[in-house]
Structure 1
């Protein structure tokens, strides 16, 4: 079961990453190009957010079955245990909260420019946190050791 969820979580990250990057690119183009906020923009932003939330749910299952997550007195002393038990999940929850806030602000914004700006800023901040979290794992962005 652990192996299945680990592979699922590792593979699904590419879909999440692609959707978030596409949403950011669309938002930047709309914001800087003063373009209208279309139904396609709304759907891209929504799908990016849904994929991030789905990844979080898969990650939570993995968190509770992973041999790398331990709640012992030595957890904070061991880099790998601390990373997987505390740091990774904390950074990812913060990133997904930023994506959710960005999506919500975009929905409530009155102008197309404000809608695009909310997505561009919050999704980009979330992406930076996600990239930092992945790089801290020592596995690199594409699952390879750095």
Structure 2
């Protein structure tokens, strides 16, 4: 079961990145097009929100069943960079990224008819995307 969830979590990352990139790119295009934020634009924001939340739930499960997660939490593990990445840095950064995506989407959905929706998604999803990219454990990804 652990291996299956670990692979699901790894491959789901592609959907998260794709969804956040599409939402972010759409918001940038909307901002430069100087048009109002519509319900269709709001739905494109869901392409980043939904996979990020699903990934967070899968990651939370993985955190508690993995030998690298919560069970590894100790002072000695904090001195090891790989252990620290899996038990603290990666989960904390991803939680912050999901919170930023949620805030960006929540603010944008109240701004239908204005330019502010694009700006909200562009800023919050952009910061979240950056955080996701810097804290993915690239060396442990399938295929590496």
With structure 1 as the length reference, what TM-score do the two structures score?
0.89
The equivalent position to 1:97 in structure 2, one of 96, 99, 105, is 99
Q: How many residues align?
A: 142
1:24 matched to 2:24? The reply is: yes
- Cα distance in 1 for residues equivalent to 2:16 and 2:102: 14
Deviation at 1:32, TM superposition (A): 1.2
- Cα distance change, pair 138–37 in 1 and its aligned pair in 2 (3 A): closer
Q: 5+ residue gaps in structure 1?
A: none
**Equivalents in 2 of 1:42, 1:101: separation in Å?**
13
Distance 2:79 2:117 in 1: 44
Structure with the bigger RCO (C-alpha within 8 Å, sep 6+) is 2
TM-score between both structures, scaled by the size of structure 2: 0.91
How large is the RMSD of aligned CA atoms in angstroms? 1.7
Contact 1:68 1:80 in 2 (8 A): no
Match of 1:128 among 117, 130, 141: 130
Structure 2: unaligned runs, 5 residues or longer: none
